Amino acid sequence: MMKLELHWKIIIGLVLGLAFGVFAASQGLGDFTSAWVAPFGKIFLNLLKLIAVPLVLSSLITGVASLSDTKKLSRIGGKTITIYIATTAVAVTIGLVSVNILQPGDTVPEDMKLKLQETYEMAASGRMEAANEAKNRSILQPLVDMVPDNVFSSASNNRNMLQVVFVAIIVGIALIQIPKNKGKPVLDFFEGINELVIKLVDNIMFFAPIGVFALIADTITSVAGNNLNNILELLSALGYYMLAVIIGLILQMIITYTTVLKIFSKMDLKTFYKGIAPAQLLAFSTSSSGATLPVTMERCEDELEVSEEVSAFVLPLGATINMDGTALYQAVAAVFIAQTLGMDLALGAQLTIVFTAVLASIGTAAVPGAGIIMLIIILEAVGVPSAGIALILGVDRILDMMRTVTNVTGDASVAVAVHASEKN
Ligand code: ASP
């Protein structure tokens, strides 16, 4: 057991958690699970989030400060953002092709449509309020949001990861510019913190199998309630829709990321997937690329040999703005809802989806369930009633787990690609 590789241990935790969750849901043990099992998942999740800010701060400051000039930084930045946007646009296109071929909207029985809309009406209106807030912001607001007026307040909330990235970059740059003897103690300090946090990631991951067990068991019982039939009914009504999303996500990994890796690096797929597997499993269990970030960074640096300066820049940025899985899902969901409501989306509307989904995925927070809130903005852009999200809310968590895996895989493949292209 001790010799087992980390990803196998996590898989065992995941499978056992799955089995326990199904058992608990079928035996009406939902309350028991949330009282006695879920807390261990929460503790694990908190531990991961706890180290995200110090990790990003320390590794980015030391990464930037180790660059000989700032030109390299802007080159890495330009490359990263270009590949991020391109892969997201491809993801949306794949999603649109998948949903237009499978036409899952035609398969939902009429009575089920009504039932879904009734059941999830309340939950849907809560999401709509959140979307409204996001929509009323000016176009340049994200830029303003990136620049904090107080470094301690930005470091005190994981949602402000881009602010932390920003501060780390300007501090790193200034560290290059001041005399070496003055900068050295500061740099040494952050290098020490960096070592320390990476060790902490290792130690926390020791508990990953237990954490994942608890997270999965809790997710199943909360999605299914105390009645497993609920979820089975949902799965059969929305099966085709889920299939359209899942096929799209798989194609994105097989086509897009393989291409990115092939074009820029010589890394073979086996090495890549073996290295990144624990982060993928964690993304699946937590539905949060933000919470997975420390592990994504650690795996990229230790197993995929991505340099710190690249990983510390590319991955936190990716966790916040690069969400291929989310964008793909948003495209499929938007068309599915239109289909279900008997609306046909013309080519123009589908192109609007490509554009808005790329933007919406950039604005989606790296936390569970954020994707569906931004979906509302896409629906409104193409004139589909946003209350339609009630149709898909019941299975959203399951798809969230899967799209988060794609999100994290996308970030990691771009990190490998940028590192390789910098080396050449
Ligand atoms: N849960 C996703 C993530 O953290 C975002 C989403 O809801 O699509 O990557």
What CATH number is attached to the domain comprising 207? 1.10.3860.10
Give the span between the Cα atoms of 221 and 18, in whole angstroms.
10
Structure tokens at 56: 């990003």
The rounded Å distance from CA 21 to ligand 1 centre is 22
DSSP 250-283: HHIIIIIIHHHHHHH----HHHHHHHHHHHHHHH
The rounded Å distance from CA 195 to ligand 1 centre is 28
Q: How far is CA 244 from the centre of its chain?
A: 19
Q: Is there a domain that residue 279 lies in?
A: yes
Are 307 and 76 in contact by the 8 Å Cβ rule? The answer is no
- Domain membership of residue 335 as a residue range: 6-68+80-227+234-423
DSSP 349-366: HHHHHHHHHHHHHHHS-S
List the one residue out of 404, 401, 26 whose CA is nearest residue 221: 26
Give the span between the Cα atoms of 155 and 167, in whole angstroms.
10
Residue type, 210: I
- Please give the number of the atom of ligand 1 that sits closest to the Cα of 408: 9
pLDDT for res 1: 47
Q: Is there a domain that residue 117 lies in?
A: yes
User: Positive or negative, the Cα torsion across 73, 145, 141, 171?
Assistant: negative
Are 216 and 285 in contact by the 8 Å Cβ rule? The answer is yes
Among 158, 285, 362, 364, say which to mutate for ligand 1: greatest number of ligand atoms within 8 Å of CB.
Answer: 364
pTM attached to this predicted model: 0.91
Q: Is there a domain that residue 351 lies in?
A: yes
User: Positive or negative, the Cα torsion across 293, 299, 304, 309?
Assistant: positive
Torsion, Cα 325 327 328 334, to 10 degrees, reads: 140
**Residues 57, 77, 179: CA angle, nearest 5 degrees:** 55
pLDDT for res 339: 92
The rounded Å distance from CA 424 to ligand 1 centre is 33
pLDDT for res 213: 97
Are 89 and 354 in contact by the 8 Å Cβ rule? The answer is yes
Per-residue pLDDT of the chain (424 residues), as tens digits, is 457 888 999 999 999 999 999 999 999 899 999 999 999 999 999 999 999 999 989 988 998 888 777 788 889 999 999 999 999 999 999 999 999 999 999 888 888 888 888 888 888 888 888 788 777 777 788 789 889 999 999 888 888 888 998 999 999 999 989 999 999 999 999 999 999 998 999 999 999 999 999 999 999 998 887 677 877 888 888 999 999 999 999 999 999 999 999 999 999 999 999 999 999 999 999 999 999 999 999 999 999 999 988 998 999 999 989 999 999 999 999 999 999 988 889 999 999 999 999 999 988 889 999 999 999 999 999 999 988 999 999 899 999 999 999 999 999 999 999 999 998 7
- Please give the number of the atom of ligand 1 that sits closest to the Cα of 288: 4
The rounded Å distance from CA 325 to ligand 1 centre is 8
Q: How far is CA 167 from the centre of its chain?
A: 23
Q: Is there a domain that residue 84 lies in?
A: yes
Domain count across the chain: 1
User: Positive or negative, the Cα torsion across 357, 360, 365, 371?
Assistant: negative
CA distances 85 to 72, 129, 327, 362, Å, are 20, 28, 11, 9
The rounded Å distance from CA 249 to ligand 1 centre is 13
In angstroms, the first-to-last Cα distance of the chain is 41
Give the span between the Cα atoms of 332 and 86, in whole angstroms.
18
- Please give the number of the atom of ligand 1 that sits closest to the Cα of 291: 4
The rounded Å distance from CA 57 to ligand 1 centre is 22
List the one residue out of 293, 256, 260, 254 whose CA is nearest residue 89: 256
Structure tokens at 156: 């005190």
Q: Tell me 33's DSSP state.
A: I
Q: Is there a domain that residue 413 lies in?
A: yes
pLDDT for res 389: 92
Asked whether 403 lines ligand 1 (CB < 6 A), one says yes
The rounded Å distance from CA 373 to ligand 1 centre is 10
Give the span between the Cα atoms of 59 and 172, in whole angstroms.
10
Q: Is there a domain that residue 1 lies in?
A: no
Asked whether 142 lines ligand 1 (CB < 6 A), one says no
Residue nearest to atom 8 of ligand 1 (CA): 371
Q: Is there a domain that residue 74 lies in?
A: no
Say how many C-beta atoms besides its own lie within 10 A of residue 316's C-beta. 29
Structure tokens at 157: 């909330």
Asked whether 288 lines ligand 1 (CB < 6 A), one says yes
The rounded Å distance from CA 90 to ligand 1 centre is 18
pLDDT for res 122: 81
Q: Is there a domain that residue 73 lies in?
A: no
Burial class (CB in 10 A: 0-12, 13-18, 19+), 35: exposed
Give the span between the Cα atoms of 230 and 164, in whole angstroms.
42
Asked whether 407 lines ligand 1 (CB < 6 A), one says yes
Torsion, Cα 143 144 146 150, to 10 degrees, reads: 170
Among 158, 288, 292, say which to mutate for ligand 1: greatest number of ligand atoms within 8 Å of CB.
Answer: 288
Long-range contacts of 142-151 (CB under 8 A, 24+ apart): 142/362, 142/363
